[in-house]
Amino acid sequence: MSLKSNLINIVIVDTIHPGNIGSVARAMKTMGLSKLSLVNPRVFPSDDAIALAGNATDVLDNAKIFDSIDEAIKDSTFVYATSSRNRSIQWPTINASEAAKEICNQAENDKEVSIIFGKEDRGLTNDELELANMLIEIPANPEYPVLNLAMSAQIIAYEILKASHGEEIKEWRDYPEVNSKQLQMLIDHFIETAVEIDVIDPDNPKKIISRIKRMFTRLQPDEMEASFLRGFLSVINKKLK
């Protein structure tokens, strides 16, 4: 299986220290990855980033900067996020090795994949994590499970490179899955309709909205399924007017 690195989008969010951007670029290039997206970096471009990138300055030169995660991942069919955060609503989780196999197979089938890494000091918020179909867990010493940003990127990039030499899994779907932007539009439409028919109290939603987001990201609907659901919701909306 060849590594289609142009379809694997490494997204780092709100990076505090520019040197960490350079270190991530170096980790990526070492393992054959090249597509880097930066969401609201505190300082970039930066000499510190260039210094720590080593010979991976081409990754920095081609990096794209975005104002939001939504924009950075909007064209991706599958979105993964890294997190050690304990959540009250559990999200589908996979280890780095198994995630890498999935990512390589998705890219091999010409589907863009994004992998999101959070800020150095606190990672990703719950709302940011809920943009992902799956969370990636990197097993570590439970007494000191501390990995910095570049370490995390290096481990996952290594697992992707290793998995790229594995056996391809044949695509079974007859329609392509929705990308992240289409999925978020479907989720928003569903929640808005649920509020409109008084199934959800917008002033006291409790945890049901997070559960709805988890349900749709886990199901990974294809374009035909999403189109049907959007049409179904639109009919409900018209009946209510």
**For the chain, how far is it from start to end, CA to CA, in angstroms?**
53
Identify the band that residue 102 occupies on the pLDDT scale cut at 50, 70 and 90: very high
CB 9 within 8 A of CB 113: yes
Query: Tell me: the pLDDT tens digits for 136-186?
Result: 988 888 888 788 999 999 999 999 999 998 765 667 788 889 999 999 999
Q: How far apart are CA 12 and CA 20, in angstroms?
A: 10
Tell me what the mean pLDDT of segment 50-78 comes to. Answer: 97
Alpha-carbon distance values, 221 to 133, 140, 226 (Å): 11, 33, 6
- Looking at the DSSP assignment, which residues form a beta bridge with residue 37? 11, 64
The pLDDT mean for the chain works out to 91
Question: What pLDDT was estimated at residue 167?
Answer: 60
Evaluate if residue 87 carries a pLDDT over 80: no
Pairing of β 78-82 and β 134-137: parallel
Question: What pLDDT was estimated at residue 84?
Answer: 66
Domains, in order of start, for the chain: 5-163 (3.40.1280.10), 180-240 (1.10.8.590)
Residue 157, SS3 per DSSP: helix
Identify the band that residue 52 occupies on the pLDDT scale cut at 50, 70 and 90: very high
